[in-house]
A and B are shown apart, each in its own frame.
Chain A
Amino acid sequence: MSLIKDLTKGIYRENPVFKLVLGMCPFLAVTTSVENALGMGAAATFVLICSNFLVSLFRNIIPSKVRIPCYIVIIATFVTLVDMVMNAYLPDLHKSLGIFIPLIVVNCIILGRAEGYANRHPVLNSIADAVGMGIGFTLAMVILASFRELLGNGTWLNINVLGTAYQNQPLLIAILAPGAFILLCFILGFFNILEKRKGGRQ
């Protein structure tokens, strides 16, 4: 029961982006297209699962004084591993995601979950938490990326949706940096309204 709860809480109730407002750096930078968002989400989820697993496994061995350096070493190792393996065996994916992979190291969701959850919960729960948080992060990225790609490029997952006439004169700001901030504010505002309505009814 608690395993399922750990898995699902990351998707909406404790969504890392919309509720905890973590991982803003990759969230804002990589969401220029849905394809990038999916790739980044998958890579971050993988690293998150591995780091949560290891941190939870060694949570009684790692002394609390040096826990943060240890987490960072673990995370950085996995990120570098993903980078090298992807570069060698999946060169096409690496070409489109290559510059974003080092960004995973500074993704505070991963360090946040290691510090906030995995270091005092059993292994299975930590993995469930990582999967849930990873899905939540990926979903959030896809939501913002959908808006940005659709408005800024007229496409969704590289499929032309709004027609070539729109593509000639798209709302370019949506895929530029300011557009990411503005749209993020709208989405956060939307969730706040949702939350308020829910609170009002109870």
Chain B
Amino acid sequence: MAEIIKVGLILMLVALVAAVALGLVNSRTASIIAVQKELEKQNAMNEVAGSLSPGDSLAFDSLSVAGLENPYMICDNTLNVMRVSVPPDTSSVGYVFIAYGKGYSSTVQTMAAVELDGSISSTIILYQQETPGLGANVENPSKLIEKFNRLTASECLLTKDGGGIDAMTGCTITSRAVTNSVRTGLEAMNEAGLFNSGDNEPAEENPADATVESSEEGGTE
């Protein structure tokens, strides 16, 4: 009996020293890590939103948009949307949002910048752990996400699912995860009335014509 108490006390002592050491280091590093994370996110947002208003320094403020229920979105029911503006001016130039899609072996996080008319202007992959050499190629913009540029919600669909985006060869699941999660995000924002609705309505009725139409409008603007 006495021995077990002694042994237990020593084990407790070891654990205590470890806990104190960890606590001290954590109190030192936690704030630095948080700053680091925020900076990383900020950099990603600046990178992706740079396409909305090239060359300007941008300001972001977050909006809360009710997410749509969708099998491809695995996150809570609010969509993380940032309104983008060029600082002295407070009117928005576009939006940035993060989409979560369930891929082959990870949840792929995609950040997309959206124009006011609801078309995508730029996309980057924030996080993925897909198969190296196959799904992981999604990080390479020319394989998939470059094809999203200037598409609206209804056009953001793989060829296999009746849309116009070719999936990456050999990795339909990853391609589908990214495409569908981005589309769902766009739909949720559309539903929340964030876009200038005039450009969006015809696109939903006739996807085939919409490709031509929206690109023409993009040219005149």
Chain A residues proximal to chain B, CB less than 8 Å: 32, 61-63, 65-66, 69-70, 73-74, 76-77, 80-81, 84-85, 87-89, 91, 99, 152-153, 170, 172, 175-176
Contacts and interface: CB of A to CB of B under 8 A. Distances in A.
A172 B7 contact: no
A172 B11 contact: no
Contacts of B8: 66
A80 B25 CA distance: 10
Chain A binding site: helix, strand, loop or mixed by DSSP? Answer: helix
A34 B44 CA distance: 27
B10 A176 contact: no
18 contacts: A62-B10, A62-B14, A63-B10, A66-B10, A66-B11, A73-B15, A76-B18, A84-B26, A84-B29, A85-B25, A85-B29, A87-B36, A88-B32, A88-B36, A152-B133, A153-B133, A175-B133, A176-B132
B133 A170 contact: yes
B11 A81 contact: no
Interface residues of B, number: 24
Interface string B106-133: 0000000000000000000000010111
Nearest to A80: B22
Nearest to A61: B10
Contacts of A87: 29, 33, 36
Interface of B: 6-8, 10-11, 14-15, 18, 21-22, 25-26, 28-30, 32-33, 36, 40, 129, 131-134
Nearest to A71: B14
B6 A63 contact: yes
A77 B18 contact: yes
Contact of B7 (A63, A89, A91, A175): A63
Nearest to A153: B133
Contact of B133 (A62, A74, A89, A172): A172
A140 B21 CA distance: 32
B7 A66 contact: yes
Top 8 nearest A-B pairs (CB, nearest first) are: A88-B29, A77-B18, A88-B32, A84-B29, A172-B133, A66-B11, A175-B132, A63-B7
Contact of A74 (B18, B26, B134): B18
A84 B33 contact: yes
Select the residue from A61, A88, A170, A172 with max chain B CB neighbours within 10 A. A88
Contacts of A77: 18, 21-22
Nearest to B16: A73
B134 A81 contact: no
Contacts of B7: 63, 65-66
B22 A91 contact: no
Contacts of A65: 7
A175 B30 CA distance: 35
Contacts of A88: 28-29, 32-33, 36
Contacts of B132: 32, 152-153, 175-176
A89 B30 CA distance: 11
Nearest to A174: B133
Given A32-B132, A62-B10, A81-B22, 5 more contacts: A63-B6, A66-B8, A73-B18, A77-B21, A153-B133
Nearest to A81: B25
A69 B32 CA distance: 31
Nearest to B35: A88
Nearest to B36: A91
